[in-house]
Amino acid sequence: MFERFTDGTRRVIVMAQEESRGLGHGYIGGEHLLLGLLRENGAGTAASALGVTLAQARREVRALVPTSRSKRSGHIPFTEQAKKILELSGREAPFGHAVAPVDVLIAVLGEPDGHAAEVLAALGVDRQAARRRTIALAAAEPASRPGGREPIDLRKATDMIVVTAGRNPDVAEEHMQLLGDGLVHVDYGEADQVFLVQVTRIPRVRLLDVARPLGVFDDGMEVWLAGVTVDNYVTVTLEGRGAAAQAALQRYRDQRARWEADAQARSDTEPPAWPAERLLAVTLTLRDDVGSDYQINTGQTGGTGREWLHEWGYRPTPPPAATTLHLTAQVDQTLTTLDLALPTNPH
């Protein structure tokens, strides 16, 4: 993970570790990453979008998590939420860029739960507004991304690799030549089959900060829109919630335990279906304000720890001219339409 980080981002992590050690917490959480960001000049004016000081934030962290007199030495582990923030920061970085402190800040502001969110709330920070300001500042100020633009890695341009008729991605650069910032010559393998492909840098962002209810099945099962992200795909995540969903989850776990305990059943039958397969009954359609036709390209239903989550991946990637994604969901007889602002593409 850390190999994609800028030196400034690595300093943020070191400073987060120092903050945790100084407080005697024995772990690195989102609140410590927030303190590290406020100490790191690499976040620049984007960090000022919070309108708080390091001293103020540190005081709220102390109030939230009591300071211990013990000083832990050696390795300090990351919490699961801190790991998630660092993972999401990689998605926030534009294609072809290393992960800068501003990307970590955007990821911190995008997390609705956890100690970092509680600290910001105690300081009166509107996370969503601060996140929008930070994204805008990061796009407007190249200094927020040390080193500026980096060359496009052709091996990561998977759509172009497909054009080369299934050639090995490890040698894809032998059949491609970068002609300019984003313009690539692709040799299809025949003299009369050559393409010029324009690569567009698409920021990887979440379009939905807060989960939205979409409707209720006739048995009381609640369907929520848990997330919408844009990267190679437009990924829509649905989640089953409510008392009926919890009851169904418990039934599934009981059935799964019986199936795993029965060696004969495991050899003769399939495991019980994930509860999330119920969400396949939801009808989802996507379109944007320039008329793109979005089609399901991939999907994932359930999984350990994800029993009530279902994801659809839609293609194409939204074109640069698109500014709004229109999502329509039908749950039984309930029809819900949402308009989500698409990111501005920095060319």
Tokens found for residue 166: 């299934």
Q: What is the pLDDT of residue 147?
A: 46
Q: How far apart are CA 288 and CA 129, in angstroms?
A: 24
What φ, ψ does residue 13 adopt, rounded to 5°?
-70, -40
- Reference 277, options 230, 207, 217; nearest CA is 217
Q: pLDDT class for 203, splitting at 50, 70, 90?
A: low
Of 308, 328, 325, 311, give the one whose Cα is nearest residue 214.
Answer: 328
Backbone conformation region of residue 56, classed left if phi is above 0, alpha if psi is from -120 to 50, else beta? alpha
Q: Which two tokens stand for residue 151?
A: 């060359």
Instruction: With 0.85 as the threshold, say if the pTM is over it.
Output: no
Q: What pLDDT was estimated at residue 170?
A: 52
Question: Which residue, among 120, 175, 173, 168, has the nearest Cα to 151 in the 3D structure?
Answer: 173
- Whether 96 has a pLDDT exceeding 90, the answer reads no
Q: What is the DSSP string of 89-101?
A: HHHHSPTT--B-H
In whole angstroms, give the CA distance from residue 325 to residue 329.
Answer: 13
Among residues 183, 44, 34, 39, which one has the least CA distance to residue 120? 34
Q: What one-character DSSP code corresponds to residue 66?
A: P
C-alpha distance from residue 232 to each of 202, 205, 317, 346 (Å)? 9, 11, 6, 16
- Whole-number pLDDT of residue 288: 94
Q: Residue 229 pLDDT more than 50?
A: yes
Element (H, E) at 329: strand 324-331
Residue of higher predicted confidence among 153 and 261: 261
pLDDT at 8 (0 to 100): 82
pLDDT digits (tens, 9 = 90+) for 277-293: 999 999 999 999 999 98
Residue 209 carries which side chain, given as an amino acid letter?
D
Instruction: Please tell me the distance from the alpha carbon of residue 329 to that of residue 327, in angstroms, as a whole number.
Output: 7
pLDDT one-digit tens code per residue, 44-84: 555 566 888 888 889 999 988 877 655 555 568 889 889 98
Picking from 93, 133, 91, 75, the residue whose alpha carbon sits closest to that of residue 109 is 133
Give the pLDDT confidence score for residue 331 in this predicted structure.
94
Radius of gyration of the chain (CA): 23
pLDDT tens track for 103-151: 899 999 988 888 999 999 998 988 888 888 887 776 655 544 554 444 4
Q: Say yes or no to pLDDT of 162 above 80.
A: no
pLDDT above 90 as % of the chain: 32
Q: What is the pLDDT of residue 166?
A: 47
Report the C-alpha gap between 207 and 158 in whole angstroms: 23
